Amino acid sequence: SQKIEQNSEALNIQEGKTATLTCNYTNYSPAYLQWYRQDPGRGPVFLLLIRENEKEKRKERLKVTFDTTLKQSLFHITASQPADSATYLCALDPYSSASKIIFGSGTRLSIRP
């Protein structure tokens, strides 16, 4: 069956360092991979989308890589700040953003001052 794995344990990072979150999947061939941020009591907020033929995507302090051979995506936040503390969800999309996507369970990130 299709499976998406994200680090279930919380990640604690010192402010200013780079935070790296991992998303692994099996039995799936997504055309796109998305990353979302979720704060307590709120719905997820879309951050970035990367296509299967893209190796890397950047947006401000965020960088996402997508390795379809390893079936893995890495999500980096450089120069991390306490305001980056949240749960980050990866989501696999088989076709496009206009079809249902499957979410991982998320990794909670804490940035300490």
Give residues in contact with another protein (CB under 8 A): 4, 32, 34, 36, 41-47, 49, 89, 96-106
Q: By the 8 A CB rule, do 71 and 5 touch?
A: no
Instruction: Report, in Å, the least distance between residue 84 CB and another protein.
Output: 19
Token pair for 27: 């039995």
Pairing state of beta strands 32-38 and 56-59?
Answer: unpaired
Rounded to the nearest whole angstrom, what is the least distance from the CB of residue 83 to another protein in the complex? Answer: 19
As measured in angstroms, the least distance from the Cβ of 36 to another protein is 7
